Structure 1
Amino acid sequence: MEKGQISRTSLLSKLDDRSVHNWMRAKIATIPKFAVQAGYDTDGDPIYVGRVNRNGETFPAKVIPRKRRAYASWAGEEHVINDVELLSGHYYAWMPSIGGIIPPHAVRLGRTSEGEPLYVGRCVWRGSLTPGKIQPSHGCLYFPFGGAELRTEQYEVLVQPETWVASSGHEIVAGSVLAGKDADGDDIYVGRAYHGNNLLPAKVIPRKGCAFISYGGQEHIKHEYEVLAGNGYKWWVTDSKNCLPVGSVICGRTAEGVPLYVGRGYWGGSLTPGKVYRSHSCLYIPFEGEEVLYEQAPITQETSHNSARLEHHVALHFFINFSI
C-alpha cells in the first residue's frame, strides 16, 4: 500500500459504520440543525419528529421545545418522556394515506417486539398537526394526545423520495450520498451525468471540481451533473451473478432505455462508484482515464490488479428494504 492510502478495511468501516437516518440525541429545549418538523400543537407551538426506545421497542415522539416536553404513547396512554432522539436531515416530505397503506420511500421508525416494522406518520387532530406511529397490520396511525393514545385511519406518511440535485464545480450539495474515497482521500459522492443521450452514474468529487463517468472504454470528465441527496441509503454487498436486490437505485438509462444502477468497488486504493447493467453481471468504474470492468465475484476473491479484493456494492434505499 502506498503512503497516504487508506486500507480497505478501515475505509469501509469509516464509510459504512453510520446511521442511515440521522437520529440525534438532544436536550428537548435544544433542537439540532435541520431537525424535521412534524407539525404544530393546538397553540401553534412547533412539533418535531422524535423517537424513544422502551423495552426493545421504538416509539415515535412528538417533541415540543417551547414546552420543554416530549410525548409518546403506548398501552393506550400518553407519556411524558425526557430521553429522546430527534430526526435531522433534508428532502423529507409527507404523503397522504389511509388504512395502514405504506407508500414507497416511507421512513421506517423501528419495529415492534414481534418484528413488525413501524413508520412515521402524522394527522390533524383538534387544531393540531401531530406525529405518531403507523402499524400497517392495525390499519391506522397511533398518536399521543391529551393523556391518551388515540388512533385514526386517515393520516400522512413521512417519506423521502429519491432526490437528484443539479450541481457543478466545487459545490457540496447538502445531504449528498457518500459513495467512497478517492486514492488521495477526497470524498466521492453518488452522481449522474449525461453523455450524449445516455444518463450515466457518476463519481462526483467536489474537491476536484468535477464528476467522472465511464463510457466506451474511457473515463470522461463532466462539469455539470446531478448529485443524489438525502438519508436512507445503504450499500449492500452482493456476490452472485445477475443479483440486484429489490430496491436497488436506478441512477440512469442508456440511450436505448436500459436502466442503469449504481455500484461501487475497491480499486487502486480508492472506493469508487460506477454503473451496473443488470444483464452484464459486472461493474464499470471510471478510473485514471479508463473504464475499468469488474467481473462480479465473491468478496473474498483475490485479483491480480494491485492485489485488490473485489467488492461489488449496489445502492439500496434503506427505508424500503431493511430494518433500522
Structure 2
Amino acid sequence: MVNKVSPLSATQMAIWRGMWAYEDEPRLSRVARMRTMDRRDFLSGLKWVWACNGAVPSQALVGGKLDGQQYYIGRAHHQGSVTPGMVIPKRKACCIAWGGDEHDKDVYEVLCSDGRFVPVSERSTGNLLNASSAGISEDGEPLFIGLVQHEGKLICGKVQRSHGVCYIGYKGREMGFSEYQVFVGIAPTPLESHYWVMCDDSDSDVPAAATVAGSDTNGCLYIGRAGHRGSCTPGYISQATRKCHIAWGSDEHRKSRFEYLCNCRARFVPGRENFIPVGAVGGGYSEFGEPLFIGRVQVKNRYIVGKVQPTHKVCYIPYGGKVIAHAEYEILVLDDYTKSS
C-alpha cells in the first residue's frame, strides 16, 4: 500500500531549513550548481540526451505507461533545479513536479542508460545509498529518479532525500509518496563523452582535443563558452584575440576567462526556430536558467559560433561588436544522432 503524503508547506519548509541549515546560508550560485551537477553526472555514469517537443532517441529508457502509451524517463531545468520526470510524447513535453504543481517543459533531457528500480519505504531506506544521482535541487541537493504506484499507474518523479518522499506530477499537482522505488543505474565503465576545459587568455596552448567550428585568416576558431551576468554563454575562441567571443544583450563581449569544448564528436546540422534536435550539444544556460545550445552562422566565408536560445527561436552571434540574431542557422548535434539524417 502506497502512503501518500502532501508536499511540505512553506511553514514546514521554514521549520525544516531551521533544523538542517543555517538561515543565513546562501543558496548555491547557478555556476556552482551546474558544476556540481556535471560532477554527479560523471560519477553516476548515466547518459542523458537533449531533445524537445516529445521526441526521444531510440535508446530512451521506458518508464512505464500512461493511458495506454509509453512514457520515458527524463529531466528538465526549472527554477534553478534539474528535476527528473516523465517525457510524454503525447503531451510533447517532460512533465516534472516542483513547488506544488506539475510543469510541462518542452526542452529536456532523456535518460539513455540501463538500470533497475528498487523499493524504498519509511521502514527501509537502505536502497537510497545505491541510488544514481539524476538531478539537483535549487539549493544544490541531489535528486534521484523515483517511481510510485498511484491509481493503478506507475508514475516517475523525483526523490528528494531530505523530504523523505518521492514527488510526482499528476493532473496538474505535485504529490508526495513515502513509499516508492528508486532508480539504480547500471554503469560498468565510465562514459566517454565531451567535456569542457577552463583556460584564460594567458594560456598559449590550445587543449589537444579542442573542437574546431571553423577558421578565419588568423587560424582556427574553436567552440567555447564563458560566464557573463549570471549566464554561461557559448561562443567562439579566436587564436588572434585569445578571447572567447560571446553574444549577450545587444553587444559582443570578449571574455578573458573561458572554456574550450573538447572531445566532442558532433557536427552542425540545419536548425530552425525553437526546435532542438535529439542529441543536440548543451552549451550553457541563460541568466534565467534556460538551457542554451551551440549554433553557428556563415558570415563572409567564415563560420561564427553563437548561442541558440529556444524561447527566442534564433541563434545569436557576436559580430562586429554587436549581437546579430539569425533565424536560419546550424546547431551542433552529436554524431550518434546525425548518422540517419
TM-score by length of 2: 0.43
TM-score by length of 1: 0.46
Q: Please identify the structure whose Cα radius of gyration is greater.
A: 1
Structure (1 or 2) with the greater helix fraction? 2
